[in-house]
Chain A
Amino acid sequence: MLKTDNTLAIAGRTAPASARESVKSLKARFARENWIMGILLFVCLAAAPILPGVKGWMATEASLVIIYIIAAQGVSILTGYTGLVSVGHGGFLAAGAYTSALFTEHYGIDMSVGLVLGAIFAGAIGQIMGLVFLRLSGAFMAIGTLGFAFFVGTIVNNVPLFEGRDGISLDHNHFFGFEIGDFGFYYVSLGVLALVTVFIYMLLNSGVGRAFKALRDSEKAAEASGVHRVRYRILAFTVSAAITGLAGVLNAHIVNYISAEVYGDIWYSVDILVAAIIGGSAMLMGPFVGGLFVVMVPFYLETLADFSFVLKGVVLILVLIFAPSGVAELIGRPLRNYRQKLLRAVQASQGPTAAESDIGGRRNV
């Protein structure tokens, strides 16, 4: 007699339906909790400016953190979830920044339009790079993207359109026609961050996200199971570049000035990658921790000047030695252990089930 129950047939025994039901409901609860925690986080961030003693520069600094978080989220799509390591995301950052800055300078567009255009342009360049680097993987990909970052740097330094080291100065920022100050900018970047985070969460829990992860874990196996490798690789590149491009637009408008002095270097590329790796590139909360680290360490150690680089390097190495999957993983560990325990308790009380305890997966923080 054929068994039709495919999931549990593997274990060779059938679990009571009630156990499966309760495990399912528990997982649904965890997903709900993820949502609630996420919303709470953003409500707290949105309410932060009400606190007494908050000044304009703090909002700017916080916006800078958010910019790095968004950029690192872009990297994490490619590096963390699809397994293609990019050392060249500064190029996409520059693409977004220059697109918006040039359109604002010549056509006086609104910042909201700039965000859309920047994302589209950066995404288009990402798509082209995805095509160019189609056959690369591993270390070769890292070096190729590094070459791309340098290439962009040379172009913005030398092509007259980008005004080289003199840079482009912009007027005050307008969002939907309203002039926005420090706090306005903070809310705009927070809004973009929220949208991007929700987008990534939905993407990862969709078929596309699963295809990305399948490609990361084994390209051959994924292809054999029907994942269109070329299509999803290019898609990952495009989405990743577009998100980093959004960060670039914000980065151009935060100081209303961009020049090849900053974007002609590879420092942005390196910093963004470090933010993604330190936080944990395969976790939704990873870029949050990483962005905070990359911006706040130099900020607090400003008086130490170059010595802050040394500390940054030391911390990076320590993190890699003691928490190779990222600080966010370390912070989220108690929560995950608690959930694992809960799940196991339910399973034990309800009788044996098949191995369904994949709740400690990399995305659930």
Chain B
Amino acid sequence: MLGQQILSGLATGSLYALTAIAVVTVFRNTRTINLAQGDFAMIGAFIAMILLKRFGLNYYATIALVVGCCMLLGVVVERVVMRPIAKADWLILMAATLGVYYILHGLAGWLWGRGTKAFPVPFDPTPVHIMGAVISKGHLANIGWALAIGCAIYYFLKHTRHGIAMRAVTDDPDTAELLGIPVKRIVMLTWAMAGLLAGFVGVLIAPIIYVSPQMMDQVLVKGYVAAVFGGLYSIPGAVIGALMIGVAENLAGGYLGSHYKTATAFAMIVALLALRPQGLIGIQKRREI
């Protein structure tokens, strides 16, 4: 029972982790608390639903298309909204993403309605036995996807030109600029990456929480809680935080009752921030935002 709770907690946690990675990447490269991150995924889920339902597209082709759309959305947001105010105070940047949040929320509600819709690909509940624990195939698939995406991002950041440039911008944008790194393009790439992650999250989470304009609100906040575990700066910290939240809230749901599932994450963040404000695995650097 315990092992099973932990395993399905890890499955949910892996999707929080993808959100948290996007949050951290955008924050450390652009100082932006991106409140629209969840809504990128929400738009992605709606597009996926339409592609699957109305056009009967193949599942994998849908994922590819949706991820492309979300990346484009990220780039458009960067170009149109964030670039003109890139030098502003972080509060202004956060409020601007709030504006994007309103726009995407409103668009989804206007085009597709406020109601909750089922996602055409059913969540595969076929049980699989792993080391005594029983987990559904759908959860296992999500873990697999998240792992693959995580590895791809690790490879990208460590071993490719653009990934290394991105980390240089994270460390010190001014020096990066002096070294000839096109900082503006890297910032754009950062937002594209946020879109990419959002696209995957949207498609993978839709069968579990269904599709509606407000579907991602809670997920986003948990992504942020996870990001704070890593001090809003460290990707491994954020991933560990996300997995912990997934497990903790699943355990709370199992042993205390499902009402307390959501409260757990927030209790965790309040406790964490009160005790270790720099995050669990935080880096003291760059706290002067």
Interface string of B112-133 (1 = CB under 8 A from A): 0010000000000000000000
Q: Does B90 contact A (CB under 8 A)?
A: yes
Interface string of A308-332 (1 = CB under 8 A from B): 1111111011001100100000000
Q: Does A132 contact B (CB under 8 A)?
A: yes
CB-CB < 8 A to A134: which residues of B? 274
Q: Assess whether A306 is in contact with B114, with CB atoms less than 8 Å apart.
A: yes
Q: Does B224 contact A (CB under 8 A)?
A: yes
Q: Does B179 contact A (CB under 8 A)?
A: no
Q: Assess whether A143 is in contact with B262, with CB atoms less than 8 Å apart.
A: no
CB-CB < 8 A to A321: which residues of B? 84-85, 96
Q: Assess whether A324 is in contact with B92, with CB atoms less than 8 Å apart.
A: yes
CB distance from A126 to the nearest CB of B (A): 14
Q: Does A135 contact B (CB under 8 A)?
A: yes
Other-chain contact of B106, A148, A151, A308 (Cβ < 8 Å): A308
Q: Assess whether B88 is in contact with A324, with CB atoms less than 8 Å apart.
A: yes
Other-chain contact of A154, B84, B110, B266, B287 (Cβ < 8 Å): B266
CB distance from A219 to the nearest CB of B (A): 10
CB-CB < 8 A to A312: which residues of B? 99, 102, 106
CB distance from B20 to the nearest CB of A (A): 12
**With the chains together, A317 CA to B266 CA distance in Å?**
29
CB-CB < 8 A to B104: which residues of A? 313
CB-CB < 8 A to B84: which residues of A? 321
CB distance from A315 to the nearest CB of B (A): 8
**With the chains together, A277 CA to B104 CA distance in Å?**
20
Q: Assess whether A139 is in contact with B262, with CB atoms less than 8 Å apart.
A: no
Residues of B20-69 contacting chain A, CB below 8 A: 27, 33
DSSP class of B's interface residues: helix, strand, loop or mixed? helix
Q: Assess whether B109 is in contact with A133, with CB atoms less than 8 Å apart.
A: no
Q: Does A266 contact B (CB under 8 A)?
A: yes
Q: Does B260 contact A (CB under 8 A)?
A: yes
Q: Does A122 contact B (CB under 8 A)?
A: no
Other-chain contact of A144, B89, B107, B213, B270 (Cβ < 8 Å): B270
CB-CB < 8 A to A154: which residues of B? 259-260, 262-263, 266
Q: Does B196 contact A (CB under 8 A)?
A: no
CB distance from A265 to the nearest CB of B (A): 9
CB-CB < 8 A to B259: which residues of A? 154, 157-158
Q: Does B215 contact A (CB under 8 A)?
A: no
CB-CB < 8 A to A168: which residues of B? none
Q: Does B269 contact A (CB under 8 A)?
A: yes
Q: Assess whether B102 is in contact with A310, with CB atoms less than 8 Å apart.
A: yes
CB-CB < 8 A to B94: which residues of A? 85, 139, 142
Q: Does A201 contact B (CB under 8 A)?
A: no
Q: Does A146 contact B (CB under 8 A)?
A: yes
CB distance from A130 to the nearest CB of B (A): 11
CB distance from B214 to the nearest CB of A (A): 9
Instruction: Look across to chain B and name the residue whose beta carbon is closest to the beta carbon of A146.
Output: B221
Other-chain contact of A150, B90, B91, B221 (Cβ < 8 Å): B221
Q: Assess whether A310 is in contact with B107, with CB atoms less than 8 Å apart.
A: yes
Q: Contacts A305-B109, A313-B106, A317-B99 given: A140-B85 contact, CB under 8 Å?
A: no
Q: Assess whether A309 is in contact with B277, with CB atoms less than 8 Å apart.
A: no
Other-chain contact of B266, A138, A151, A273 (Cβ < 8 Å): A151
**With the chains together, A224 CA to B228 CA distance in Å?**
29
Q: Assess whether B274 is in contact with A79, with CB atoms less than 8 Å apart.
A: no
CB distance from A296 to the nearest CB of B (A): 16
Task: Report, nearest first, the 5 A-B pairs whose CB atoms are least far apart.
Answer: A309-B106, A313-B102, A306-B109, A313-B103, A316-B99
A interface list, Cβ under 8 A from B: 79, 85, 132-140, 142-144, 146-148, 150-151, 154-155, 157-158, 266, 270, 273-274, 277, 305-314, 316-317, 320-321, 324
21 A-B pairs with C-beta separation under 8 A: A85-B94, A132-B270, A132-B274, A143-B33, A143-B232, A143-B269, A144-B270, A147-B225, A273-B98, A274-B95, A277-B95, A306-B106, A306-B110, A307-B106, A309-B102, A310-B103, A312-B102, A313-B102, A316-B96, A316-B98, A324-B89
Can you add 15 more A-B contacts, CB < 8 Å, to A147-B221, A150-B266, A313-B98? A133-B274, A134-B274, A137-B287, A144-B228, A150-B218, A154-B263, A277-B95, A306-B107, A307-B110, A310-B102, A313-B99, A313-B101, A313-B106, A314-B103, A321-B85
